[in-house]
Structure 1
């Protein structure tokens, strides 16, 4: 991986505002000196992400995630430290020098995939907008009401009918067929070689929620060509269950209205944008998932699901509702009739007609029971049994007990049955989901998940050191960082010492540049958020911390010396041990057999009384 000089990393970090960086993905509200929002790293229902503009760090006090702007992008986009620095540098116009030690073999694999997909996006776009072979595709889009400016806005493209159109051009630009295959753009032939996955199709680039092109959707121009829609396969950079088409471009309208419209097709998103309906997203050729819902919850309080009127569309709505309910979004549903889709609807009735339709969308339970009645005969016990099972499997996704209780009550009333029956069905559905489910997204796998806070004195001392470089220097003059009793605090104090030796600041945000450990990043962020210690009126004098650390260090050395002598079979003298450990001369003689352990207890007791934790 290419190396970036430390001073350049610091320049980038000092040039960005973490509030601006995180606001691209999470809605933040100002609370005092900090900003609060829903944490994107776990299924957050109440804002637990705390962002400090002053310290340039973030911390979630629910799941433990924390760090600086680089760490946020690393964890959110699953990219390397170098990639995160490069991305922020591009945003602020800083040119990064490449280290002489870098080579193609060292470059991050995901970065190569991103470059490959981005090259393909530009190629497809050129073929649509500039190449004669794209004329038929342009005519098709214009016939669907898509203007040239909208083609540009969504970076629409065209894949020619050639079997190796992209392969040939990409190969001449240094992109191997194997890399194109990994990016989902080429397919291996049975007898050797490769061919283009997309041929004679309109191309819809799919962007991640961070704005990077990760995949493509494609629509056939020839009515006889099957399948009609073809999507990229999943790759190391593309997870269709966690990607919503249009979210990156439409995130601001969604955030401002606090509502999202979810449609089925890419063309629906583009067509609605043409009519200035922009709070719209589409799933990437899959049923809605909890990850989709979690993404939307960052920007919206509610969502309207708009589905085609055919049976498949309605079934898709039902499959997605459970996942959407888990996010606690307020869900409403529209089912189009007469074979219409959002594209045809908005072209016939305009944006006003479409907005009126979504505003009058049916509440969630009205839709569910309308669908259940169309599928089951509720006058029979078998029909009611199947209906209870269907509805209970949806209710089981609800995480809030109060909401779940109201849903159970409503179900019982609508079906004319006892609440106990619905409660039992929901409990069974819940157990079934838990039994078949792996660890939840909120489960932490880092060291911070089981991390104990450690001695309060050490925690507070680390906090003061990160808050002020001169304080750090004073501490390091008198305290050996190896004598912090907590292993994580030893690591952090060692990082502080290294920074000060090299003449660098030891602030929390700067220390986070040097760590790839997510657990460590979370702890550094948590310590830095302990602002109460920085109030001079309530602060314990620094010298008290230092004296206590020195005494603790002395006692630790005494214990180590005593253990060493015991192991050697030698008789121990407490005063000699103190002299050796403290590098001073003994002041008197003591009977070792009578005073050996007692003296140590007295020392510890005196220290504890004088400097209570």
Structure 2
């Protein structure tokens, strides 16, 4: 059975050899470096006690230094499962979520046709390389020299030149017996609307060959020499060989360099990639005439866990960074993310390297910003945060973005980190959203105090214990918690850990060790959202009322020293005291009330509902059977 062109390449790009092999071996943790895809284990093909079987997960190959077994994921499945080639591909395709193609008798002929097109592209490259040495390319050579590309560098990158004429390449290849249809199919020529011979796609341009990961020339990118040309940069049209949404410039060499530990850098164009590689950043790639796509990200993550997106610091570069951010969010996985370098405005990597050298670029790469940092900055700068409505829009925007993350563990950590950043932002900048609350004088101890805790300290500890018991309720009370001033730095630190997801697992048990806290229904029914909401609302109200009354007393004491005393002051204190008493009357002792759920979903006291029904019956409004008269 023949497989369609590109099927195996796509299969290999989706698979992790480490995961395939990992089902059969136990990795040697002392010798392996999983972050770099460098994995070692005892060989599954022969008996041994030492780890001589090596997997290079980034390159997708294995080799045993003992029995010399070697191959890729397909050969590994063939040998370990004792199946043929097609069956091994079928097994791996199922793991990769790919549909096996139906038998296609044309597939073999299609593969031959693609191989023929690749040979034509190599002939075109030879022609363009020769043209760079001619008198017609004098200005092109001068341009490359001004950009810092020596003749040796030009040779390393196979840079060529397309002469200004309309038929230069076409006539050359026709003389070698290559028909016009093949030139058009390869993307080297276009049909004439006037009925003449097909004309060259590239004219009067410096040409950069574009290769697939295996090193075959599949397309060209051309930089116009005429300033009046409508397209400064022009890529080959899409062909059976070239799909720009799946192709990265310098893919193969960058994969090799990334496998040796170099940072994988994604730049915007050919000259940026060449400049980076010539200055030692050999794991540099660029998309081709399009923004980064999902296919690009899959290729990038096969090469490195955290590719660095290096873009110009202007408006267009920032927009491109934001597009890459939004594209990557749903695809994030444990260990797989992006980092971002935004260069000084008006500079690209080539400009920076020529002006300030390798150390400046290395510093930017070393300090590249994590994806969440860019996401946070974008949303913070998108609107003022000085009103509840704007802060609500801010919260909604962040929640919408994080909800797109498909991996549950990554999504949870993003939510925790955003909660921490939000806490820090609003606590540090009250004018932007945190509630301003007067700090009351220390509360006196009361009958509630046990073990040295004041009433205020006990309330604060109950609130923390409820949050520890049911963390999911935090988002419902985020605004109240952000503005809550704790009377003790230790409790403030616990609150910060809870809000940021850094609290220890046994925090609830430690807080609930206090007898007056352990009886709270929300502590005993940990994880019950409804109970947690009710108890937390009650405790926040009690704490606010108690603090409000304390502030009133403090102000009354100050007024009594002056001329402000009188009936008004007495009335204020009486109202404040009654409010405090009402808030504190409920307590959080054992709740023995029997509830049932009404039609609208609310919890209703069962005895109270029965008494109300009896009253309706007594006055003739409702019959005992429940029918309305």
Q: TM-score, normalised by structure 1?
A: 0.53
Following TM superposition, by how much is the alpha carbon of 1:410 offset from its aligned partner in structure 2, in angstroms? 2.5
Partner of 2:116: 112
The answer to whether 1:305 aligns with 2:315 is no
Partner of 1:342: 349
Following TM superposition, by how much is the alpha carbon of 1:215 offset from its aligned partner in structure 2, in angstroms? 1.0
Which structure 2 residues correspond to residues 285-364 of structure 1 after superposition, within 5 A? 285-325=289-329, 326=331, 328=333, 329-364=336-371
SS class of match (1:334): strand
Give the Cα separation in 1 of the matches to 2:310 and 2:139: 30
Following TM superposition, by how much is the alpha carbon of 1:211 offset from its aligned partner in structure 2, in angstroms? 1.3
Partner of 1:371: 378
Describe the superposition over 1:242-276 as per-residue Cα deviations: whole angstroms up to 9, x where unpaired: 21111212332211125301111110011122222
Which structure 2 residues correspond to residues 428-577 of structure 1 after superposition, within 5 A? none
Give the Cα separation in 1 of the matches to 2:392 and 2:191: 49
Give the Cα separation in 1 of the matches to 2:125 and 2:474: 54
Which structure 2 residues correspond to residues 129-144 of structure 1 after superposition, within 5 A? 130-144=133-147
1:66 to 1:263, Cα distance in 2 relative to 1, 3 A:
farther
Unmatched segments (≥5 aa) in structure 1? 1-17, 41-46, 79-103, 422-613
The answer to whether 1:58 aligns with 2:73 is yes
Contact kept in structure 1, 2:222 and 2:235, CA below 8 Å = yes
The answer to whether 1:151 aligns with 2:154 is yes
Partner of 1:30: 40
Partner of 2:230: 226
Partner of 1:260: 264
Give the Cα separation in 1 of the matches to 2:421 and 2:237: 42
Describe the superposition over 1:106-146 as per-residue Cα deviations: whole angstroms up to 9, x where unpaired: 98111121112221122111111x32222211110011101
Following TM superposition, by how much is the alpha carbon of 1:175 offset from its aligned partner in structure 2, in angstroms? 1.9
Give the Cα separation in 1 of the matches to 2:183 and 2:39: 42
1:55 to 1:198, Cα distance in 2 relative to 1, 3 A:
closer
Partner of 2:172: 169
Describe the superposition over 1:289-325 as per-residue Cα deviations: whole angstroms up to 9, x where unpaired: 2222222223322211111122121111111124445
Give the Cα separation in 2 of the matches to 1:150 and 1:159: 19
Following TM superposition, by how much is the alpha carbon of 1:37 offset from its aligned partner in structure 2, in angstroms? 5.3
Following TM superposition, by how much is the alpha carbon of 1:346 offset from its aligned partner in structure 2, in angstroms? 0.5
1:393 to 1:348, Cα distance in 2 relative to 1, 3 A:
farther
Give the Cα separation in 1 of the matches to 2:110 and 2:268: 40
Describe the superposition over 1:134-171 as per-residue Cα deviations: whole angstroms up to 9, x where unpaired: 22111100111011111111111111111111111111
Describe the superposition over 1:28-84 as per-residue Cα deviations: whole angstroms up to 9, x where unpaired: 6332224445599xxxxxx9x8777537563477xx999779x99x999x9xxxxxx
Contact kept in structure 1, 2:332 and 2:407, CA below 8 Å = no
Deviates more, 1:200-209 or 1:241-250: 241-250
Following TM superposition, by how much is the alpha carbon of 1:369 offset from its aligned partner in structure 2, in angstroms? 2.0
Give the Cα separation in 2 of the matches to 1:419 and 1:122: 66
1:339 to 1:56, Cα distance in 2 relative to 1, 3 A:
closer
Q: TM-score, normalised by structure 2?
A: 0.51
Unmatched segments (≥5 aa) in structure 2? 1-16, 22-35, 44-52, 99-107, 427-472, 477-629
Which structure 2 residues correspond to residues 161-240 of structure 1 after superposition, within 5 A? 161-192=164-195, 193-240=197-244
Give the Cα separation in 2 of the matches to 1:57 and 1:370: 42
Following TM superposition, by how much is the alpha carbon of 1:333 offset from its aligned partner in structure 2, in angstroms? 0.8
Give the Cα separation in 2 of the matches to 1:66 and 1:282: 39
1:55 to 1:277, Cα distance in 2 relative to 1, 3 A:
closer
Contact kept in structure 1, 2:254 and 2:264, CA below 8 Å = no
Partner of 1:402: 409
Describe the superposition over 1:83-102 as per-residue Cα deviations: whole angstroms up to 9, x where unpaired: xxxxxxxxxxxxxxxxxxxx
Number of residue-to-residue matches in the alignment: 366
Contact kept in structure 2, 1:241 and 1:286, CA below 8 Å = yes
Describe the superposition over 1:534-590 as per-residue Cα deviations: whole angstroms up to 9, x where unpaired: xxxxxxxxxxxxxxxxxxxxxxxxxxxxxxxxxxxxxxxxxxxxxxxxxxxxxxxxx
1:166 to 1:379, Cα distance in 2 relative to 1, 3 A:
farther
Describe the superposition over 1:474-495 as per-residue Cα deviations: whole angstroms up to 9, x where unpaired: xxxxxxxxxxxxxxxxxxxxxx
Contact kept in structure 1, 2:125 and 2:160, CA below 8 Å = yes
Contact kept in structure 2, 1:412 and 1:419, CA below 8 Å = no
Give the Cα separation in 2 of the matches to 1:224 and 1:385: 50
Give the Cα separation in 2 of the matches to 1:67 and 1:148: 49
